[in-house]
């Protein structure tokens, strides 16, 4: 993957046309933009396809900008080529069409007609890079664009500079069991990062001020001299509610980070990566 500079993202605002959600006054930004940090290696891992029932929300036919959209009953055999776009800061932390919270660092996507959720493989036809994402939102509502990718997915496909890419989207068949009989499919776990600092004592003071329910699952991670106060890990389906609770507790900039399997806790409660 071509390296991208953090300076680029801090100085340049990228406008994304055709984002997943119908524009409304509920967003704090008028235009979309790129975040100021790049995805971590953990956040660049493909979504892990697991059998899931269709979401109770977001799977009915609907109308946007006067156009009717009929939601597909099944995604089996779906393959389509067209242009992909991506969406970022403007929608980060807001509800997706199936009732989850959009995380621009998760491997997710928006599609106008696929059932929610659906796992798809997206291949950038200009460089043959691919990513597996979980479709949990509606869009893009822009002519000739067939999928709207999260910031992390777009970064993995190396399409941030251009803003769009010619892609092939293929639904993943989940009818074949993903695990042997008696085994449970692998699930992802997430941390909620509250704050980062080089001052470990400051993070300890912040931790002591947390509500009891959050303090019980709070740890401090250390990575290259930087300390991070995080909560969890918790299963993915619990992480959305936890993130909402944390933001309501006075940490509006908190975000999810996929937990790594090789994280171990030191005797002082500091997690070592």
Residues 95 and 211 both lie in one domain = no
CB contact burial 157-176 (16+ within 10 A = b; e otherwise): bbbbeebbbebbbbbbebee
- Average pLDDT (173-181) is 51
Per DSSP bridges, beta strands 108-110 and 145-150 are antiparallel
**What CATH number should be reported for the domain holding residue 11?**
2.40.40.10
pLDDT computed for residue 7 by the predictor: 30
pLDDT computed for residue 99 by the predictor: 87
Q: How many whole angstroms separate alpha carbon 100 and alpha carbon 244?
A: 10
pLDDT computed for residue 11 by the predictor: 29
User: What domain range includes position 197?
Assistant: 189-272
Which residues, in sequence order, are CB contacts of 73 under 8 Å at separation 6+?
A: 115
Count of domains forming the chain: 2
pLDDT computed for residue 270 by the predictor: 52
The pLDDT tens digits of the residues spanning 17-41 come to 334 444 444 444 455 556 678 888 8
In a domain, 180, yes or no: no
In a domain, 179, yes or no: no
The answer, yes or no, to whether residue 247 has pLDDT greater than 90, is: no
Q: Taking a C-beta distance cutoff of 8 angstroms, is the pair 220, 227 a contact? A: yes
The answer, yes or no, to whether residue 180 has pLDDT greater than 50, is: no
Residues 35 and 166 both lie in one domain = yes
Where is the domain boundary, 110, 139, 171? 171
Task: Determine which helix (DSSP H) or strand (DSSP E) holds 231, and give its type and residue range.
Answer: strand 226-235
| Range with lowest mean pLDDT among 18-27, 102-111, 123-132, 171-180 | 18-27
Q: Tell me the average pLDDT of the chain.
A: 78
**Inter-CA distances, 140 with 144, 150, 163, 231, Å:** 9, 12, 13, 33
Where is the domain boundary, 111, 140, 171? 171
CB atoms within 10 A of CB 98: 18
The answer, yes or no, to whether residue 120 has pLDDT greater than 50, is: yes
| Range with lowest mean pLDDT among 35-49, 54-68, 138-152 | 35-49
Better-scored residue on pLDDT, 258 or 97: 97
Q: Taking a C-beta distance cutoff of 8 angstroms, is the pair 94, 27 a contact? A: yes
The pLDDT tens digits of the residues spanning 53-106 come to 899 899 999 999 899 999 999 999 999 999 999 987 667 677 899 988 888 889
pLDDT computed for residue 1 by the predictor: 37
Q: How many whole angstroms separate alpha carbon 24 and alpha carbon 96?
A: 14
| Range with lowest mean pLDDT among 82-91, 103-112, 136-145, 146-155 | 82-91
Reported confidence tier of residue 271, pLDDT bands at 50, 70, 90? low
- Average pLDDT (175-200) is 64
pLDDT computed for residue 262 by the predictor: 45
């Amino acid at each position: 993957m071509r390296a991208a500079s953090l300076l680029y993202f801090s100085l340049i605002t990228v406008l994304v046309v055709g984002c997943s959600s119908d524009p409304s006054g509920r967003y704090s930004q008028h235009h979309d933009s790129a975040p100021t940090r790049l995805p971590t290696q953990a956040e660049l891992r493909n979504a892990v396809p697991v059998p899931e029932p269709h979401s109770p929300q977001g799977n009915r036919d609907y109308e946007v900008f006067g156009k009717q959209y009929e939601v597909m009953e099944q995604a089996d055999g779906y393959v389509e080529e067209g242009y992909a776009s991506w969406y970022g800061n403007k929608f980060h932390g807001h509800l997706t069409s199936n009732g989850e919270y959009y995380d621009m660092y998760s491997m997710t996507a928006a599609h106008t007609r696929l059932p929610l959720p659906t796992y798809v493989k997206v291949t950038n036809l200009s460089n043959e890079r691919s990513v597996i994402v979980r479709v949990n939102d509606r869009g893009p509502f822009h002519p000739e664009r067939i999928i709207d990718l999260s910031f992390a997915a777009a970064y993995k496909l190396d399409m941030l500079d251009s803003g769009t890419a010619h892609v092939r989207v293929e639904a993943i068949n989940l009818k074949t069991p993903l695990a042997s009989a008696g085994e449970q499919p692998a699930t992802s776990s997430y941390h909620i990062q509250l704050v980062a600092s080089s001052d470990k004592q400051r993070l300890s003071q912040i931790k002591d001020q947390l509500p009891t329910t959050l303090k019980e699952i709070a740890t401090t991670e250390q990575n290259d001299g930087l300390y991070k106060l995080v909560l969890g890990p918790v299963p993915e389906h619990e992480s959305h509610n936890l993130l909402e609770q944390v933001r309501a507790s006075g940490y509006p900039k908190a975000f999810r980070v996929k937990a790594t399997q090789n994280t171990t806790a030191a005797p002082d409660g500091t997690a070592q990566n």
